[in-house]
Structure 1
Amino acid sequence: MTVPRSTLRLQFHRGFTFDDAAKHVDYFAALGISHLYASPVTTAEPGSTHGYDTVDYTQVSAECGGEAGLRRLVDKLRAHSMGLVVDMVPNHMGVSGSGNAWWLDILEWGRHSAYARHFDVDWHSPDPALRGKVLLPTLGAPYGDELAAGRIALDFAADSGRFCIGYGPHVFPVCPTDYAAILQSAERADLSALAERFNGLTTQPTDQPRAAEGRDELREFVAQSGRAAIDVVLQAYAPDDPVTRDRLHRLIERQHFRLAWWRTASDEVNWRRFFDISTLAGVRVERPEVFDAVHALVFRLYHEGMLDGLRIDHIDGLAEPREYCQRLRQRLTELRDTAPYVVVEKILGRGEPLRDDWPVDGTTGYDFMNDVGALLHDPAGAEPLARTWTELTGRSPRFADEAVAARRKILVENLPAELDRAARALHRIARDSLTTRDFTFTTLRRVLTELVVHFPVYRIYPQNGLRSATDNLYFEQALAGARAALSRADHAVLERVNAWLGGSAEDMPGARPGAPQQPAQNGMPPSHAGSSRRSAQTLFSQLTAPVAAKAIEDTACYRYGRLLSRNEVGSDPGEFALSVERFHAGNLERSQRFPHTLLATATHDHKRGEDVRARLAVLSEIAEDWGATLRAWSTLNAPHRRALDGKPVGSVGQDTGQGFGQDRSDAWAPGPAAEAMLYQTLVGCWPPELQPDDEAGIRKLAERVAQWQLKALREAKLQTNWLAPDEAYEAGCRDFLFDILAPQRRDGFLKELFAFVARIGRAGVLNSLQQTLLRLASPGIPDLYQGTELWDFSLVDPDNRRPVDFAKRVAWLAQTPPSEFLPGWRDGRVKLAVVQRVLALRAHLPELLSQSTYLPLVVRGAHASNVIAFARRHGNAWAVVVASRLAAGLLGDDGDLPMVDPVQWADTAVEVPSDLSARALFDWLSPAAPKVDENGLLYLRDALAAMPIAMLVEDGVPRG
């Protein structure tokens, strides 16, 4: 297997192509990267900035440079002995435009399309209007309004000879079975002759080649005769006349799709989406022919040696993640002699293991990002910060309360169609048994709702229809929550649903009345019942996963603001801090189970940059002071609040009930919760070198924060949301932001904000350096996200996907020890130097940080709680990692360096293994060479004399 030493994630799009990346390969190599880690390279929707909306799995994206550009990039990488890992999206495809040939084919031919089973479409919808059809929730207004307004029309594509329904940029193919009637409507002999080619045509696969021949003739006819005849046809279906508009409507109604207002999607969509995004359709990659079609390109590229590994996106969206991983590993292994490197994007709950029967090398690193992020927080700050949050906002101090409310909201408003589909699957099982045939759909839906609302992780992974012990650990939590929420009358139904969803092999549906009973075999159900159960289990799993993502990451994390540094993808904001012991336990588990897993602290999906989170974590150490600061700033900026209609509060009469303080304490924009989150965001993302009198810099910051604020407000789904934006409220929030950051506030709020950031800035940098070193030195493969080798004060996308100034980074590469750059820490060079230096050690002694033993080290002395230390050992080579932590109280108010005065450490020391007693250790990050005393103690006053972190190396090589 080609295991990376380190990876660097790049986001490709037409503004940053493969050739653009190739220009920087020299830099990536000098930085110490062994493998680039690319966003999806397959063809996506035109203009895609991320590549996750694939429309053609068989072609490399032309916008990114095409296959030729990709080969040029790989050639450049190979010249530097580097490799390429690419992101793969097997779960869904983009279906919003006209570029997805598979999707267009099922719109044209319906259930008889060659691709009808490629997508997860329910062709047997209980809605008669959708049976055999695909709902297309594309229209900007109700169907009747759009039709009457003439925005829906029949069109003809001369290049393909196809009739289609056009709506703005959208193109929906008309089934060729209607071509005869369409052509005959012009009452022209030449067109009637062409119509004969389509008479008697059916949708059966055997008839489809005849339709293709007829389209070819039609295309040739138009090419030779011009469009005049076709324009006559189109006029017969013109939407501007009631008679022809009715004819157009009846034509549309005969198609294999139903055009609908976009608001119908949540309630009526009859195909699996990616989360609640109606422009991304779920792909049935569990089917062998679909698996082969989806992976044909990457398999070929891997076979040709262009790829070294894959990152699998959203593994929990697949029907059978285990089987998928097994099939993928097997196919890749067959293609090359070396084993492939494969990691999966998997969100793990605390204590939830990555399954051993998935033949992968680990995750994309969210679990490590969660661990190292929680390690930066002082547990003592949890209670006072929660109290402040509740006092200021009136919202619950517990994240779990927000999570349950958000799950319920997502099920009711965003994913009710998916909930209905899963409930129907359970209802079908119930109807198959005499004992459960009276379980109503409504009851089953109610029970299912509570199970999903209380489900604590993304999903279960039943095998042969039964849940594992690990599955049951989490399912029992959901059962307990559902029992508490449901009436006793529903408990019997809940227990039966528990059995159907993998809880029992005994309680199986019987045959229908009058049919002979089929005995179970080997304790397993009859085949039809087993199939029904597996279908229900899959639908349940494909419901809990998007509910978790949408409710936690995209809703509750924007509602709960105890401390935003814990509101991150893959994290549970209810878990405030992690002890050193538990961090070590996580590293030990990774070293033993998945030693090649990725270690991330920043991703293309993060909500706040790694250094934003590191700075905000300092607030956990000064919780009471931060609470007082929040209250003071809220009072200071109260005059800038807006009424909910966006007008200044002062212009609203207090006796009208429209202002604040009448019926609700938060009846103003932005409201106390959004305002408190805004202050945290400003503190967290303030650039280290920005001065309060820099009007252009402040304006640039305000624009970035305004972009974050709009997304945050809509994701919270309280006063406004994506489906029904309250634009007046949003404008009021934006005005509030720009008012408090206005130039005239430079001696008021801006001065106070700047002073507060300066106060915690050094502690934030110390956290950042600690986090960086732990990522680079812990068991696993360190992953860098583009540009984050310098300070990463980005916010949620698109802010975290801004262009990277690689020229600056190239210029700042140096062989100088990082400690030399510590005095100028504001420019970020010290972070770049740490990254470069430790990656150089990984190249110099590759086994030391990849195949070594992980040893947690004990720290003792006055400030033992302010240190984390561990050792890595391979043979005679050692590396001892030491980092300051929770050090805000030790930094003091004097000095400008983000490190504890060595004298402050007093008797604090690390107990090192006896093998290192009385030996000098050379610091990889500074000129220091601290010595372990004869008692095996490494004193912090020596180890951390030049930097707040240390990478002490003893390589076992005799020195003269």
Structure 2
Amino acid sequence: MSDPTVSSASAAPAPAVAGPAAPRSTYRIQLTPDFGFADVAALAPYLRDLGVDHVYLSPILQADPPSRHGYDVTDHSRIREEFGGIDGLRAMAATLAGHGIGIVVDIVPNHMTVPVPEPGNPALWSVLKEGRASPYGRWFDIDWSDGRVAMPVLGDDVEPAPDGDVLRYHDHVFPLPDTHYRLVDWRQGPGYRRFFDVSSLIGLRVEDPEVFEATHEVILGLVREGLVQGLRVDHPDGLADPRGYLARLRRESGVWTVAEKILVGEERLPADWDCDGTTGYDVLNRITGLFVDPAGAEPLTELFTARTGVPRDYAEVVRRSKRHVIDLFFRAEVDRLNALLGADRETLVELLVAMPVYRAYVVPGEPVPAASAAIVEEAGKIAAAHLPEGAPVEEVVEKVLNGPPEAVVRFQQLCGPVMAKGVEDTALYRWYPLSCLNEVGGEPDRFGGTVAAFHDFCRELQPGTMTTLSTHDTKRSEDVRARLAVLSEIPEEWAAAVADWSDRVSFDPSLDHLAWQNLMAAWPISEERFFEYLFKAAREAKTAISWATPDPAYEKGLRDFVHRAIEECGESVARFAARIEPHARSNSLSQKLVQLMLPGVPDVYWGNEITDFSLVDPDNRRPVDFALRRRMLAGEVEGASDWDAAKLAVTREALNLRRRLDPALPYVPMEAGEHAVAFARGDRAVAVVTRLPVGLERRGGWGDEMLTLPPGSWHDLLSGVRHTGRISLGHLLATRPVALLERE
């Protein structure tokens, strides 16, 4: 492949400097061909009144025209026509600015799409036609070892056929003569670095200054024009040099920037990255854990293993899942890397399987950071336990840390895809005692956490990092997770319900238990939505079917299961959801207020200012009923659920309060007992929320528990009541499970 080794200049650590001003809040908008710039502009008055500071747009560069997500960019030189083009963007920006709202844009530096038909990506078409002599020959991370790039499109049915000056194969189109590419079986790895296992997304070489300039010219032009005030960087771990990329991006843009970095466990964002923080999955998982009862771990795990037959040891499931995806998807990548290392292939595979994080951040030509070395060396010890005695583990570890520069980089780039596909898209669909914990970057065997640990985590949050509860990539929306968290407090009641439903309807033991959790937590849900979710879950789990190995008989059986589950158990599922609703509502409002008031930049995923019971994409990208939300905010909707009205009130009051607060106000934990979490933001605001509400109810309520407020008079923005000094939690939380206090 093209040499991804970075220059010493780009590898040099950037000096620590104060970041630019961050938004007070963001509101994520999922642009689609049906919802473009004009539609966003029309929301300006609503978003202003809700308290939104900046809209945070999904990718805006020209993508495959039907795309409903925008991460499949085809042309970096144009704003997407389906959204309204550059004129529509400028008009939208002017309208938003008139309401005091700025714009943050999601950018995709790691890859472009390989569209069908292929001429839809002019740069790639040029490379397919002219090879390395193309003006775009340096753009793509291609294996030119035999002078041609392998394109995995062929099936077992027909042969490609010439048609004038092109070669056609079904909907695919390639240039003739076919001197600079070769068509191979679609199951074969491509001759280019791709995004995870997605062969329709081809890796870019933004470490090359010319490629960076060409692919960022339009976005940086929007920044210089004053239309864009912030950037969200998609998947930086896929780049040859994430640190160097972020440093250059900051130099060129000078705006608030967050990186979609997935942190696992106690991992923290690399200190030398020139950005303001992450996109918030680390915060999301910590908040979810706050509302999960650790006492539920043993009974829920026992129930799960008994129902599914899956091993209790999550680490073993992860190991098998990562090994599976390497064999299924990444053989070509492993072979290329192994050829560079000149190492033992099986040892390399086991090292990749044992890596616990998405990347260890080793830069060729620099001393290996101690933390990075420790991660890889520990992975080597784990790998050795699964290899024959005498396997060259130490040799392979040494080579991936200090070997040929290209090999060091490619090992880093391969760790992320193996983690993403092995854990996010396989293990999390195989091991799920309590699926609200099965989130991106989550650890589903880690049930809950202490309030003290949560406070310690929040003290470290930087004012510029993003916080979130739902995104376009979350496996379940925040309110689905709020319902599921209740199960940790009622495992026996849940086990009885599952036994009842399973006695009536069953299909696949490895999937049924996931089905019941999500049917209840997303209720009410249509048969089609529920089927699409389970069908995707089954393919991701890869235990019965996969994306590459369809089975019509299994699909039919799954459809029958979905129909019968809703038809025969729907009433009972609805009763269960209604039974836990007060507790789920408490979790929902509490996690929302915590997220919105923590240090950082709170993001609201579109529509989630009221309840949303969406599952994994594309379910969570469905259109949002903004007309309803506008009427609710204006107080014009009668009959809205108490949960919806309360969540909207929490969101509105918290976002508007954030506009009045200094983002740098410190996080100050407050003593509040087992069933409450309370903290102050400096001496200006206090948030108090309920946790583990079932347990609170069992003990008879708040009793004589008290909370001591900081000095001054405090106004509860949600109830209108004023408080001072030492107050009863029962009084403070008499009407809602949360309180938001502002000092007068």
Q: TM-score, normalised by structure 2?
A: 0.94
Q: How far is the alpha carbon of 1:824 from its aligned partner?
A: 6.2
Q: How far is the alpha carbon of 1:890 from its aligned partner?
A: 2.9
1:865 is paired with a residue whose SS is coil
CA distance in 1, matches of 2:141, 2:616: 31
CA distance in 2, matches of 1:829, 1:370: 25
Query: Which of 670, 677, 680 matches 1:871?
Result: 680
Match of 1:921 in 2: 714
Q: How far is the alpha carbon of 1:878 from its aligned partner?
A: 2.4
Match of 2:396 in 1: 497
Report matched runs for 1:500-899 at 5 Å: 500-502=399-401, 533-590=404-461, 594-637=462-505, 641=506, 670-687=507-524, 701-742=526-567, 745=568, 749-814=569-634, 825-826=641-642, 828-843=644-659, 845-847=660-662, 850-859=663-672, 864-873=673-682, 877-891=683-697
Aligned letter for 1:608? Answer: R
2:135 is paired with a residue whose SS is coil
Query: Which of 423, 428, 446 matches 2:346?
Result: 446
Match of 2:738 in 1: 949
CA distance in 1, matches of 2:211, 2:584: 48
1:397 is paired with a residue whose SS is coil
Question: Does structure 1 retain, via aligned residues, the 8 Å contact 2:104–2:229?
Answer: yes
CA distance in 2, matches of 1:579, 1:623: 20
Query: Which of 134, 142, 158 matches 1:113?
Result: 134
Question: Does structure 2 retain, via aligned residues, the 8 Å contact 1:869–1:882?
Answer: yes
Distance 1:488 1:911, change over 3 A: farther
Q: How far is the alpha carbon of 1:672 from its aligned partner?
A: 1.6
Q: How far is the alpha carbon of 1:912 from its aligned partner?
A: 4.1
Query: Which of 682, 702, 707 matches 1:905?
Result: 702
Q: How far is the alpha carbon of 1:825 from its aligned partner?
A: 4.2
Q: How far is the alpha carbon of 1:312 from its aligned partner?
A: 0.3
Match of 1:479 in 2: 380
CA distance in 2, matches of 1:398, 1:759: 32
CA distance in 1, matches of 2:641, 2:450: 28
Q: How far is the alpha carbon of 1:539 from its aligned partner?
A: 0.8
Q: How far is the alpha carbon of 1:815 from its aligned partner?
A: 7.8
Determine whether 1:341 maps to 2:256. yes
Distance 1:727 1:465, change over 3 A: farther
Match of 1:71 in 2: 90
Distance 1:930 1:824, change over 3 A: farther
Q: How far is the alpha carbon of 1:146 from its aligned partner?
A: 1.8
1:389 is paired with a residue whose SS is helix
Q: How far is the alpha carbon of 1:630 from its aligned partner?
A: 1.6
Match of 1:196 in 2: none
Q: How far is the alpha carbon of 1:758 from its aligned partner?
A: 1.3
Aligned letter for 1:559? Answer: R
Q: How far is the alpha carbon of 1:589 from its aligned partner?
A: 0.7
CA distance in 1, matches of 2:170, 2:94: 42
CA distance in 2, matches of 1:750, 1:50: 32
1:828 is paired with a residue whose SS is helix
Structure 2 unmatched runs, 5+: 1-19
Match of 2:14 in 1: none
CA distance in 1, matches of 2:571, 2:139: 59
Match of 2:6 in 1: none
Match of 2:356 in 1: 456
CA distance in 1, matches of 2:368, 2:728: 51
Aligned letter for 2:695? Answer: G
Aligned letter for 2:536? Answer: K
Match of 2:48 in 1: 29
Match of 1:284 in 2: 205
Aligned letter for 2:93? Answer: V
Q: How far is the alpha carbon of 1:76 from its aligned partner?
A: 0.5
Question: Does structure 1 retain, via aligned residues, the 8 Å contact 2:259–2:275?
Answer: yes
Give CA-to-partner distance per residue, 1:511-553, whole Å, 9 cap, x none.
xxxxxxxxxxxxxxxxxxxxx6221111111111001001111
CA distance in 1, matches of 2:376, 2:459: 27
Determine whether 1:137 maps to 2:138. no
CA distance in 1, matches of 2:125, 2:230: 31
Give the superposed CA RMSD.
1.8
Q: How far is the alpha carbon of 1:356 from its aligned partner?
A: 1.3
CA distance in 2, matches of 1:562, 1:834: 31
Determine whether 1:20 maps to 2:44. no
1:543 is paired with a residue whose SS is helix
CA distance in 2, matches of 1:535, 1:423: 11
Question: Does structure 2 retain, via aligned residues, the 8 Å contact 1:561–1:673?
Answer: no
2:687 is paired with a residue whose SS is strand
Q: How far is the alpha carbon of 1:891 from its aligned partner?
A: 3.5
Q: How far is the alpha carbon of 1:921 from its aligned partner?
A: 1.9
Determine whether 1:319 maps to 2:243. no
Q: How far is the alpha carbon of 1:466 from its aligned partner?
A: 3.6
CA distance in 1, matches of 2:194, 2:406: 17
CA distance in 2, matches of 1:671, 1:545: 30
Aligned letter for 1:573? Answer: P
1:172 is paired with a residue whose SS is strand
Aligned length: 722
CA distance in 1, matches of 2:736, 2:724: 16
CA distance in 2, matches of 1:83, 1:398: 47
Percent identical residues: 42
Match of 1:155 in 2: 163
Match of 1:233 in 2: none
Question: Does structure 2 retain, via aligned residues, the 8 Å contact 1:855–1:872?
Answer: yes
Query: Which of 310, 314, 321 matches 1:399?
Result: 314
Aligned letter for 2:667? Answer: Y
1:951 is paired with a residue whose SS is strand
Q: How far is the alpha carbon of 1:102 from its aligned partner?
A: 1.3
Q: How far is the alpha carbon of 1:465 from its aligned partner?
A: 4.3
Aligned letter for 2:681? Answer: R
1:425 is paired with a residue whose SS is helix
Question: Does structure 1 retain, via aligned residues, the 8 Å contact 2:297–2:447?
Answer: yes
Q: How far is the alpha carbon of 1:477 from its aligned partner?
A: 2.7
